[in-house]
């Protein structure tokens, strides 16, 4: 019975979509390793081998996302029950109890905190702040149309957090990647929110599509994705990366162009393909190119 409820919970939070932000977190970690001579020098203390440190970063990332998604489903369960598109989700449909959901939030939050503690002291100190931000997002659609940007920042923290996990401090240059992920996530969340334009309007919920209309909201999403590309280029220049990193940005740009071609103001039938499939490709392809740049172009001695 426990395993069945756990399986349903993982389905509810779409556990497999951890892939969206995880590659960006791994990129943040690789860039941090690239900037230093070795883990001992970077943290100023006895460090785990690189592979173990990366494993704890993955555990922290998955723990935080799982807690945030479950928390969001719990907070929004009443709203989801009134929305024709989401009323079949696990909580409104009665497939899962709220008690089990809250227990899952507590456990995954603890997993995140423990993983942060295994990385370094600064990560542990910042862990409650990170949890507060990802939890607050769930309430923002009730009072601001900027909720998409809050969601974006919730994922955008990942590469900066990974940098801190490796270096033990924050370098302002990595914030270009935080800004890029923020713009990318906010852009595709706006596209996804276009499906709920009528419902959000009737319920008085805030979103960019509700405020601007679907057509202008899609235009705003395009602007955010242009801003993402600009931030990635700025990151490459600030860290003096190689041609493969630029090739990765070019690949991401082509995928984003295709993503936006799938969705029209008068035809939202392919939103799921744009949201789930294409964005998974964007994050994975980005990581592949930038990891290749790291391994082929890294400085001697690393």
Q: Is the pLDDT of residue 43 over 50?
A: no
**pLDDT higher at 207 or 40:** 207
pLDDT value at residue 46: 42
Nearest-angstrom CA–CA distance, 124 and 114: 8
pLDDT value at residue 17: 66
Q: Domains of the chain: which residue ranges?
A: 2-297
Nearest-angstrom CA–CA distance, 36 and 177: 18
Tokens 């790291």: give the residue: 294
Nearest-angstrom CA–CA distance, 176 and 232: 7
pLDDT value at residue 16: 62
Mean pLDDT, residues 271-281: 78
Least confident of 36-45, 82-91, 186-195: 36-45
Give the chain's largest Cα–Cα span: 60
Terminal CA-to-CA distance of the chain, rounded, Å?
Answer: 49
Least confident of 14-23, 31-40, 55-64, 226-235: 31-40
CA distances from 43 to 30, 47, 79, 131, 157 (A): 15, 7, 45, 23, 20
- Phi–psi pair at 171, nearest 5 degrees: -100, 125
Q: Which residues, at least 6 apart from 4, have a Cβ–Cβ distance to it below 8 Å?
A: none
**pLDDT higher at 276 or 146:** 146
- Tell me what percent of the residues of the chain surpass a pLDDT of 90: 72
Nearest-angstrom CA–CA distance, 75 and 6: 19
Q: Is the pLDDT of residue 300 over 70?
A: no
Per-residue pLDDT band for 45 (boundaries 50, 70, 90) equals: very low
Question: 2-297: which CATH topology?
Answer: Tetracycline Repressor; domain 2 (1.10.357)
Cβ count within 10 A of residue 44: 11
Torsion region of 168: left, alpha or beta (phi above 0 gives left; psi -120 to 50 gives alpha): left
Token output for 198: 């009528």
The answer to whether 56 touches 166, Cβ cutoff 8 Å, is: no
Q: Is the pLDDT of residue 44 over 90?
A: no
């Amino acid at each position: 019975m426990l395993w069945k409820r756990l399986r349903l919970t993982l389905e509810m939070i779409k556990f497999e979509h951890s892939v969206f932000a995880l590659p960006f977190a791994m990129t943040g970690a690789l860039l941090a390793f690239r900037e230093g001579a070795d883990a001992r020098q970077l943290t100023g203390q006895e460090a785990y081998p690189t592979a173990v440190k990366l494993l704890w970063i993955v555990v922290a990332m998955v723990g935080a996302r799982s807690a945030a998604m479950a928390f969001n489903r719990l907070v929004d369960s009443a709203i989801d029950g009134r929305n024709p598109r989401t009323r079949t989700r696990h909580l409104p449909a009665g497939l899962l109890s709220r008690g089990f959901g809250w227990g899952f939030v507590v456990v995954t939050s603890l997993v995140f905190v423990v993983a942060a503690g295994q990385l370094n002291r600064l990560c542990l100190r910042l862990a409650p702040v990170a949890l507060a931000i990802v939890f607050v997002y769930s309430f923002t659609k009730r009072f601001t149309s900027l909720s998409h940007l809050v969601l974006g920042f919730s994922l955008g923290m990942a590469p900066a957090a990974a940098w801190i996990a490796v270096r033990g401090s924050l370098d302002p240059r990595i914030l270009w990647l935080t800004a890029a992920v923020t713009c990318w996530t906010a852009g595709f969340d706006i596209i996804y929110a276009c499906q709920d334009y009528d419902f959000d309007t009737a319920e008085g919920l805030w979103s960019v599509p509700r405020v601007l209309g679907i057509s202008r909201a899609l235009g705003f999403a395009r602007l955010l994705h242009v801003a993402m590309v600009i931030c990635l280029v700025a990151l490459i220049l600030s860290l003096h990366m190689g041609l493969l990193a630029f090739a990765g940005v070019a690949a991401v740009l082509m995928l984003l162009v295709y993503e936006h071609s799938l969705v029209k103001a008068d035809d939202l039938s392919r939103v799921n393909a744009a949201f789930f499939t294409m964005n998974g490709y964007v994050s994975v392809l980005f990581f592949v190119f930038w990891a290749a740049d790291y391994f082929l172009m890294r400085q001697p001695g690393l």
